Amino acid sequence: MGSTDLTVHDAVYGTFCLPPYVRAAVETGEFIRLKQLKQLGVSNAVFKTALHTRFDHSLGACYLAGRLLDTLDKTLEVPISEDERKCVMLAAALHDVGHGPFSHLWEKFVETYGARWRHERSSVELARSILDRMESVSEKQTNLICALIRGDASDLLKTGRQFLAHIVSSDVDVDRCDYLQRDAHHVPDIIKPSRPFRELFDRVRVVTTVHGKGLLAYHWEDYPLVQEMACARQTFHRRCYQQPTVLGAELMMLDVMYEAERAGFRFTRDEQSEQLSKIHGKPDLFKFLNDNITEEVAASNLPQLEKAKQLIERLRNEDLYREITSFPVDMTHEVAVFNDQQGAPVVVQARRYIKSTDQWFRSFNVTFYKAGAQGIEIVSLEEAKHLHRRAVPCEAAEEINEYIIYCTSADPEVERTARQHFCTLSNGKASSS
């Protein structure tokens, strides 16, 4: 593994260098796997340029963590130690190492089979495996890095150093800052921030509460940029992450995995083998799993995979499930009845729930500061809003809660029948409401 700095040529930040201990983590098989995990899952079925990866994002988050720490060091009475810097930067680099194929879609797939699995769990397992092999990282450092990834590092930090727990995991953190900037770069025209979100870290500092707790705080004049982040997240959910055609592509990819599971497909590496729905329980096998799983399913000679292979081919040809209509209420029963009548699952439903911009922003736990007569003063979110007074240049939107019906069949006649049936139901519900 490398003992020199890692030079990164990044599409968002240009060229930057990361320290040797980050290079050592990046050169492991577990981390290199992230090159085969697209950041936005199957969104590229609709947005052709959405091909950036978890690898790119993880390096970007690590870079931002270093930049934030450099800014804090300018005003801290007790500077950031090399030990603290190492732990925070490795946590930023490894925070997504446990993602499954197609981003958060894999969590939905696993949950169908009764497991409450989240990628953070596998991130900690794989991060620990990486760190245990790094001679420059102690057991104590490993425990803190894993806690920073999980978001529960407060118990391991002294009161005055609690701010370290919020750099990688909080409402305004290097993870969110990077993925919003990166997604905006690769999927243009979704958002247009007034300034790069990373500029939030140019004036960040640590403030101390009356109880001696050290908190990350942003300059009150940067309040508009924090609100823009909330707006940007909501806008990306509406226009990209949960755009109706993207949700249809997700349902299609889920059906590929369900068909593979029903056919008894097993993922195999290094003489280990497991069902797709259970691989997350075997870290030594999970570390090989990536978006190329569809290629393995397509190439398999296992009987009963014909439907899965047909769906993969349709995805390749952009012949996606087509949206029929949407409802304000759950239509699970009506979908089941119609499919029974048709003798096949020709329609499927996706729920699309997105908080309003106001709901998202109100839930933000973020601290601001201003210069006062007695020095630096802590400012709440509401106080920062009052101080600023100017309108924030971002798009506000209401809550979305709808159930979208899709036709799974490529047969135009089946689609016509389904559309007629559910549009009639939709009109009936609209007239009765």
| Per-residue pLDDT tens digits for 260-302 | 999 999 999 989 999 999 999 999 999 999 999 999 999 999 9
Pairing mode, if any, of strands 214-219 and 368-372? parallel
Please give the single-letter amino acid code of residue 134. Answer: M
Distance, in Å, from the CA atom of 25 to the CA atom of 415, rounded to the nearest integer, reads 50
Distances in whole angstroms, Cα of residue 304 to Cα of each of 260, 309, 334: 8, 10, 28
Please give the single-letter amino acid code of residue 256. Answer: V
Question: Token pair of 310, please?
Answer: 């047909």
Sequence length of the chain is: 433
Distances in whole angstroms, Cα of residue 145 to Cα of each of 79, 98, 142, 195, 409: 19, 14, 5, 31, 47
Distance, in Å, from the CA atom of 428 to the CA atom of 373, rounded to the nearest integer, reads 65
Please report the pLDDT score of residue 217 as a whole number.
Answer: 96
Please report the pLDDT score of residue 246 as a whole number.
Answer: 97
Distances in whole angstroms, Cα of residue 169 to Cα of each of 37, 61, 95, 151, 320: 21, 11, 9, 5, 35
CB 216 within 8 Å of CB 160: no
CB 38 within 8 Å of CB 52: yes
Burial of 234 (0-12, 13-18, 19+ CB in 10 A): buried
pLDDT tens-digit series, residues 417-426: 999 999 999 8
Please report the pLDDT score of residue 370 as a whole number.
Answer: 94
Question: Token pair of 254, please?
Answer: 């889920």
Distance, in Å, from the CA atom of 428 to the CA atom of 278, rounded to the nearest integer, reads 43
Question: Token pair of 291, please?
Answer: 């978006």
Please report the pLDDT score of residue 421 as a whole number.
Answer: 96
CB 242 within 8 Å of CB 354: yes
Counting as low any pLDDT under 70, the low residues of the chain are 1-2, 390-396, 429-433
Of the candidates 320, 340, 348, the one whose C-alpha atom is nearest the C-alpha of residue 422 is 348
Please report the pLDDT score of residue 318 as a whole number.
Answer: 94
Cβ-based neighbours of 229, under 8 Å, separated by 6 or more? 172, 176, 177, 180, 197, 200
Distance, in Å, from the CA atom of 266 to the CA atom of 276, rounded to the nearest integer, reads 6
